[in-house]
Structure 1
Amino acid sequence: MDIFTLKLVLTPALIGMVSLAGRRWGAFISGWLVGLPLTSGPIVMFLAVDDGPAFAAKASLGIMSGALSQALVCLGYGWLCRRRRWPATLAWSLGVFALATAFFNVFRPPVEWLFPLTIAGLAAIYYAMPAAPAGVPRIKPLPVWDIPARMIVATLFVVGLTEASQQLGPHMTGLLAPFPLYALILAVFAHYFEGASAAIRVLKGMLQGLFSFAVFFLITARLIEKAGIWPTLLLAVAVALAIQGGVAWLRVRLRKS
C-alpha cells in the first residue's frame, strides 16, 4: 500500500472509530480519544516518509506549540457555546486558532523550554474551562450521514496538509497539523444535536488527552532522527497510550472515592 492510499484509509478509519466510541460511551470519551494524535501522528509519519526524519523532527516542535493553539480553541469554544449557536462559536474559535498560530510562528523556544511551557499552559487552560451545564437533553435526533461527513472532512485535511508540506515548511506544517479538526467536528455536532453541555464535555475530554499528545511529539522531536522513524513512532504511541490509560484509571478511581 502506497502512502497516499494509506492516508485515504487510515484517517477516515480513525475518525470513524472515535465517533462510534462517542456514541457508545459519551461525549467526554470521544473528546478524550481525540486528544490522542489521531491526525498529527499520521501526519508526522507521512512527513518522515515523504520528506525525511529531519523535516518531521522540526514539524514535531511546531505541533507541540500547536497543542496550545488547540487548547485555546477548546477554551474559547467552551465559553462561547453556552450563549451562542454553533456557527458563531465556530467562527470565533477559528479566529483564536489563527491568532495563536501566528504567535507561535514567531515565538519558537527550544524544546527544553517548549515542553514545560506546553504542559503548564494545558493545565491552566483545563482549569479555566467552564463547567458543563447540567440537565441539557438531546435536542435533535442524530442523522445517518454525520459520521461519513466527519470522515470525509478529516481525510481532506490530512491529505491537503501533507501534500502542501514542502511549500509550507516544517514549522508551519507542524503548527497547522494540530488544527483541532476532530475536536471541532465532534464539538460542533455535539453542540448542534445535544447542546452546549455535550460540546463542553467533548472539549474537556480532549484537553485531558493533550498531555499525552505533547509527550508524543516530545519523543518524535528528540528521537526520530537518531532512532529512526518506526522505532520512534512505536515508542511514542506506546508512551501516549500508557499516559492515556493512566489518566483514565485515575479518573475512575477519583469518581469512586
Structure 2
Amino acid sequence: MLLMRLLLVPLLVVLLTLADRRWGPAVTGWLTGFPIVAGPILLLIALEQGPAFASHAALWSLSVVLANVCFGIAYSWAARCLPWWLCLVAGSIGFAAGALALSWHPLPPWPALALTLAGLFLAPRAFPRVQLTTPLPTPARGELPARMLAGAAMVAMVTFLAQRLGPHVSGILTVYPVMSLVLAVFSHLHAGPTHAIRLLGGVVGGLYAFSAFCFVVGMALPRLGIAASFMLALVCALSVQAVTFCIRHPQLVASWRRR
C-alpha cells in the first residue's frame, strides 16, 4: 500500500505536467478533476478499513465536492493580486468554509448528487475571466521532481489522516484538491497567475466524473463488494469524463477527428 501511494501520484503528476505543456491549463484542469487521487485513497480505505467505512467516506466526499470548487474560486480571485502562498491560504480557507457549510446538514445520496451537479453547472460563472497571452516558459531545473515530491507528500498525509479520523472526516479529506493544489501552485510560480486560474477553472469540468465515481462507490460497495464497485465506478467516471470533454473542448475533438 505504501509503495502504491509513493509511486502512483508522482507518476500522475508527470503525466499531467506533460499534458499541461501539450494542451494547456484548461485541459489539464479537466484531467485533474478526475478522481486520480481520490480513487486510490478510497480504494486504500476500503481495503484497510472495510467496505462499509469506505462507502460512508465516498458519500461524504460526494456531499462536499463543491468545497473543491470553493478552493479554486478563492485561489483564483486571490491570484489576481496576491502571491502564491497567500492564494494557497485563501484557497484552503475557501475549501474549509465550503466543506463546513456542505457537511453541516448532509443530504441523502440522490439529493446530494443533484445539488453537486447544479453547483458544478453554475461554478464557471464564479471564476475570474482571464485569457492566456504569453507562451508557457521553459520549466526551471528540478521543477518536475519537486512537483512529484509535493504530490506524494500531500496524498500520503491525506491518506494517513483519513484512516484515523472516521468516515466523515475521511470523505472530506478525500475531496481536498491535492493534485490541483500542487499543479496550480507550481503553475502560478512557473507561468504566472493566469495559467493557474485557467487550470483551476478547468478542474470544474473534471469534477462531474469525480462526483459520479464517489456516488457509485458509495452506493455499490455495500451490495457488490470492493472489486466490482470500483470497476463500475471507474467505467461510469470515464464515460462522464468523455462526455464533459466533448462538451467543454469541441475544438480539440474536431482537430483529432480530422487527423
Normalised by the length of structure 1, the TM-score is 0.91
Q: How is 1:139-158 mapped onto 2 (pairs within 5 angstroms)?
A: 141-158=138-155
In structure 1, give the amino acid aligned to 2:196.
A
Q: How is 1:32-43 mapped onto 2 (pairs within 5 angstroms)?
A: 32-43=30-41
In structure 2, distance between residues paired with 1:133 and 1:228: 46
What is the deviation of 1:182?
A: 1.1
Find 2:20's aligned residue among 7, 13, 22.
22
SS of 2:164's equivalent in the other structure is helix
1:13 aligns with 2:39: no
- Which residue does the alignment assign to 1:191? 188
In structure 1, distance between residues paired with 2:92 and 2:191: 21
- Which residue does the alignment assign to 2:224? 227
In structure 1, give the amino acid aligned to 2:218.
A
Deviation larger for 247-256 or 210-219? 247-256
- Which residue does the alignment assign to 1:66? 64
Distance of aligned partners of 1:89 and 1:161 in 2 relative to their CA distance in 1, 3 Å threshold: closer
- Which residue does the alignment assign to 2:257? none
Find 2:212's aligned residue among 197, 208, 215.
215
In structure 2, give the amino acid aligned to 1:181.
V
Find 2:42's aligned residue among 30, 41, 44.
44
Offset from partner CA, 1:184-208 (integer Å, 9 cap, x none): 2111222222122211210121111
SS of 2:129's equivalent in the other structure is coil
In structure 2, distance between residues paired with 1:8 and 1:193: 24
Find 2:51's aligned residue among 53, 65, 70.
53
| Conserved 8 A contact 1:31-1:206 | yes
In structure 2, distance between residues paired with 1:231 and 1:30: 29
What is the deviation of 1:159?
A: 2.3
SS of 2:2's equivalent in the other structure is helix
Point out where structure 1 has 5 or more consecutive residues left out of the alignment: none
Tell me the percent identity: 32
- Which residue does the alignment assign to 1:121? 119
Deviation larger for 104-113 or 48-57? 104-113
Runs (4+) of structure 1 exceeding 4 A deviation are: none
Distance of aligned partners of 1:148 and 1:113 in 2 relative to their CA distance in 1, 3 Å threshold: same
| Conserved 8 A contact 1:66-1:176 | no
1:176 aligns with 2:173: yes
| Conserved 8 A contact 2:205-2:248 | no
Deviation larger for 224-233 or 162-171? 162-171
In structure 1, give the amino acid aligned to 2:44.
F
- Which residue does the alignment assign to 1:82? 80
In structure 1, distance between residues paired with 2:98 and 2:49: 26
In structure 2, give the amino acid aligned to 1:88.
L
What is the deviation of 1:70?
A: 0.5
| Conserved 8 A contact 2:147-2:186 | no
In structure 1, distance between residues paired with 2:103 and 2:60: 8
What is the deviation of 1:89?
A: 1.4
SS of 1:167's equivalent in the other structure is coil
Offset from partner CA, 1:35-67 (integer Å, 9 cap, x none): 101111101000000000000000001211231
Distance of aligned partners of 1:177 and 1:107 in 2 relative to their CA distance in 1, 3 Å threshold: same
The two structures, once aligned, show a CA RMSD in angstroms of 2.0
Point out where structure 2 has 5 or more consecutive residues left out of the alignment: 255-259
In structure 2, distance between residues paired with 1:23 and 1:135: 15
In structure 2, give the amino acid aligned to 1:27.
P
Find 1:132's aligned residue among 126, 130, 133.
130
Deviation larger for 58-67 or 99-108? 99-108
* Corresponding pairs, count: 254
In structure 2, give the amino acid aligned to 1:61.
L
| Conserved 8 A contact 2:69-2:204 | yes
SS of 2:64's equivalent in the other structure is helix
